[in-house]
Amino acid sequence: MAEPCTVRDLAARIGQTVTIRGWLTHYRSSGRIRFLVLRDGTGVVQTVVKAEAAELAGVESWEQIGQESSLIVTGQVHRDARAPVGVEVEVRAVQVLAATHEYPITPKEHGVDFLMDHRHLWIRSPRQAAILRLRSIIVQAIRGFLDSHGFVVADPPIITPTPAEGSTTLFAIDYFGEPAYLSQSGQLYMEALALALGRVYSFGPTFRAEKSKTRRHLTEFWMIEPEMAFCEFEENLVWQEQLVEHIAQQVLLRALGELNALQRPLAPLENIRTPFPRITYDEALVRLAQLGMPIAWGEDLGAPHETALANQFDCPVFVTHFPTHLKAFYMQPEPTRPEVVRAADLLAPEGYGEIIGGSQRIHDLSLLESRMAEHGLDASSYAWYLDLRRYGTVPHSGFGLGLERLVAWFGGLDHVRETTPFARTLNRVWP
């Protein structure tokens, strides 16, 4: 048997005889010619059986190889400009490892509930596999950018004693008889780590027990939370836009096959160039009024407002300086105008909404204590967090990037449930 070759690597093996190990996605015959379309996890390739002489092992006839049968195919690689991977394979031998019959997911249309019930199989479909590969490429791009800029990856705890922002949306667990909660943000811990290590980031799951059934919400989702010591508001925005630009460039470089499989128009991704536009909340209100969607100063932007604002730009846009009372207790008020905070949301174009939320954090102990009192927070629960301001406090900033929404945006997807292998939603914890 020739050495195994992945579908992705076939284009470099033209003229050679290779072995491909994978699964049948489609079978058809036309006269004496048979076509077996194979997937192997790295891509999809058409193979052609031109003669009865091709060896077949494991089953008695070609017709017994059903969709999702596992196969080892040996054949010669030919250039084929029409094929998605640029080649076709002329089959010499097929060994059937396991003939599959009555595979539940057929090329016909299935309902979403059926597909999610069969998610362990649905992920094999070329579209779903392309999304998961796109996610992996995006993960690598994020880590690559942060690693190469001196950020230390540091994992905040998942099991936490104190809710960071209220407890109504927390999953509670019994921790050997003590109450504890699943983290919905590692930020407070990342602040401690930034003061120890300079620049840090987390990359892990977070949890929100929201009873939301929207196309943007999962109860379990992955967040990237960078935090930088000696970093103020403006520098924080620059880190964010450079990170997003880097991801876009990497996706366009490494995930073109996946984007094509998803029929994702490339122009919106090619437009992602720094610097991103910045508008203040106040300016946003003026724009919304001009669009016939007025809101009063002090009210929060809803999803329709975010979409309307983002549609005015062909690039992600920062909305900055939100009213202080709308935002979390730890955000730094603007010194000359304390009714707004040094916080920004990054809104993606094409209706994908908030991708990043970030802010400069309050570094002054007494200001932080008074903000916590205004929020009715119990200082004893935050004793360790206050220590960060008591001992060697410095200006610091950070942000949180939601991975699934980012994947949905880059992939041009309708729903975040397809951006993660096994989505957890209000009504689903299976498979």
Interacting residues with a second copy between 385 and 414 (CB under 8 A)? 385, 387-388, 390-395
DSSP bridge partners of 224? 203, 401
Using rule CB under 8 A, residue 176 touches a second copy: yes
Residues 231-290 that bind a second copy (CB under 8 A): none
Q: What is the smallest separation between the CB atom of 421 and a second copy, expressed in angstroms?
A: 5
Contact positions with a second copy (CB under 8 A) in 353-392: 384-385, 387-388, 390-392
Closest CA to 187 of 167, 206, 172, 211: 206
Q: Between 32 and 211, whose beta carbon lies closer to a second copy? A: 211
- Residue among 3, 52, 60, 174 that touches a second copy (CB under 8 A): 174
* Region binding a second copy by CB under 8 A among candidate stretches 98-106, 289-297, 313-321, 323-331: 98-106
Site stretch for a second copy (CB under 8 A), options 172-180, 261-269, 306-314, 321-329: 172-180
| Nearest distance from C-beta of residue 198 to a second copy, angstroms | 3
Q: Check residue 199 for interaction with a second copy (CB under 8 A).
A: yes
**Among 18, 45, 180, 223, contact with a second copy (rule: CB under 8 A):** 180
- Quickly tell me which residue has 């002090």 as its tokens: 298
- 97, 238, 303, 379: which one binds a second copy (CB under 8 A): 97
User: Closest approach of Cβ 194 to a second copy, in Å?
Assistant: 8
Nearer to a second copy, 313 or 422 (CB): 422
Starting at the edge strand found earlier in the chain, the sheet holding 353-361 runs: 152-153, 199-207, 220-229, 396-402, 353-361, 343-348, 317-320, 278-280
Choose between 338 and 421: whose C-beta lies nearer to a second copy.
421
The alpha carbon of 330 is separated from its chain's Cα centroid by a whole number of angstroms, namely 26
Among positions 25-64, residues that touch a second copy (CB under 8 A) are 40-42
CB 27 within 8 A of CB 61: no
Q: Which residue in 34, 44, 73, 222 binds a second copy (CB under 8 A)?
A: 222
For position 165 contacting a second copy by CB under 8 A, the verdict is no
Nearer to a second copy, 255 or 341 (CB): 255
d(CA 387, CA 371): 16
Q: How far is the CB of 280 from a second copy (least distance, A)?
A: 28
Q: Least distance to a second copy from the beta carbon of 221, Å?
A: 10
Q: How far apart are CA 191 and CA 200, in angstroms?
A: 9
Whole-number minimum distance, CB 373 to a second copy, in Å?
Answer: 21
CB of 53 to a second copy, least distance (A): 26
Q: Which residue has the tokens 């077949």?
A: 56
Does position 213 interact with a second copy (CB under 8 A)? The reply is no
Angular region, 204: left φ>0, alpha ψ -120 to 50, beta rest: beta
Look at the block and give the residue holding tokens 């602040």: 191
**Shortest separation between residue 292's beta carbon and a second copy, angstroms:** 38
| Residue 85 touches a second copy, criterion: CB under 8 A | no
86 lies in the binding site for a second copy (CB under 8 A): no
Cβ at position 182, least distance to a second copy in Å: 7
- 197: contact with a second copy by CB under 8 A: yes
Give me the least distance between CB of 144 and a second copy, in Å please: 9
Cα four-point dihedral sign 258, 263, 267, 273: negative
Using CB under 8 A as the binding rule, whether residue 90 contacts a second copy is answered as: no
Shortest distance (Å) from residue 304 CB to a second copy: 27
* Positions in 124-163 near a second copy (CB under 8 A): 124, 128-129, 132-133, 135-136, 139-140, 143, 147, 150, 152-161
Cβ proximity to a second copy, 274 vs 393, nearer residue:
393
Q: List the structure tokens of 369.
A: 């204590």
Contacting residue, 23, 145, 233, 281, with a second copy by CB under 8 A: 23
Phi, psi (deg, nearest 5) at residue 419? -90, -5
Between CA 345 and CA 236 the distance in angstroms is: 12
- C-alpha 398/C-alpha 356 separation (Å) is 10
Q: Please give the backbone phi and psi of residue 298, each rounded to the nearest 5 degrees, phi first.
A: 105, -15
Taking CB under 8 A as the criterion, which residues in 320-349 touch a second copy?
none
